[in-house]
Amino acid sequence: MTTDPRIELFEGDITALEVDAIVNAANERLAPGGGVCGAIHRAAGPELAAACARLAPCATGGARATPGFKLKARFVIHAVGPVWQGGGNGEPDKLEGAYRAAMRIAADRGCRSIAFPAISTGIYGYPLAPATRIAVATVREELARPGAPERVIFACFGPDVAAAYRQALSPN
C-alpha cells in the first residue's frame, strides 16, 4: 500500500505486467544488455533491438519509445539513467530526468498505466535509497500534470528494492 492510490508496488518481473508501457533501464546506445534490459529484449523479441537501433542514441537523462512487440505492454519506454560515479557528477539530476522524460512520453502516447524498474540501481550502481527517493518524488510531480498516466507501478526485483520503495513512499 502507498499513500497515493495511483502508485503501486509490484514484486517480480516487469515483463509480465499488463500495462500500457513498461520502462527499460537502457544505455545511451539503446543496445540490448543484461539486467532488466536483457529480460525486456528477450520477452519482446528481436524486433525490439532493430527498433532501438533506429532511434539511438539517447542521452543520459532522456528516454525514447518503441512498440512492445511480443510484450503485453503496447510500448517500451527506454529511459537512460546515469552510471553512479559517487554522486558528484550530476547523477541525481540525470536520474530525475530519465523518470521525467519517461512520464512525459507516456503522457504524449496516451498511456494510462506505466511500470518502472529501479533505473540505474543494478549494473549502473546507483544506491537504492536515494534512487528510489528520486523515482518517487519525480513520479509524484509528473502525476500532477494534466494527461499524465493514472497508474504507476514500481516493479521491485527482490526484497531490497521493495523495502527501499516502501521507505521512499512512507510519509515520514
Binding site for ligand APR (CB under 6 A): 13-15, 25-27, 33-39, 81, 117-124, 155, 157-158, 161
Question: Which of 98/105 has CB closer to ligand APR?
Answer: 98
**Is the Cα dihedral 58, 62, 66, 68 positive or negative?**
positive
Name the minimum Å distance from CB 114 to ligand APR. 14
Q: Strand 63-67 and strand 75-80: pairing? A: antiparallel
Rounded distance between C-alpha atoms, residue 144 and residue 148, angstroms: 7
Contact 163, 169 (CB under 8 A): no
C-alpha cell of residue 8: 503501486
Name the minimum Å distance from CB 172 to ligand APR. 24
Question: Which of 106/115 has CB closer to ligand APR?
Answer: 115
Name the minimum Å distance from CB 15 to ligand APR. 6
Question: Which of 11/147 has CB closer to ligand APR?
Answer: 11
Name the minimum Å distance from CB 136 to ligand APR. 15
Residue ranges of alpha helices (H) inside the chain are 35-44, 47-55, 91-108, 128-143, 159-169
Question: Which of 67/125 has CB closer to ligand APR?
Answer: 125
Contact 128, 161 (CB under 8 A): yes
Question: Which of 116/171 has CB closer to ligand APR?
Answer: 116
Name the minimum Å distance from CB 131 to ligand APR. 9
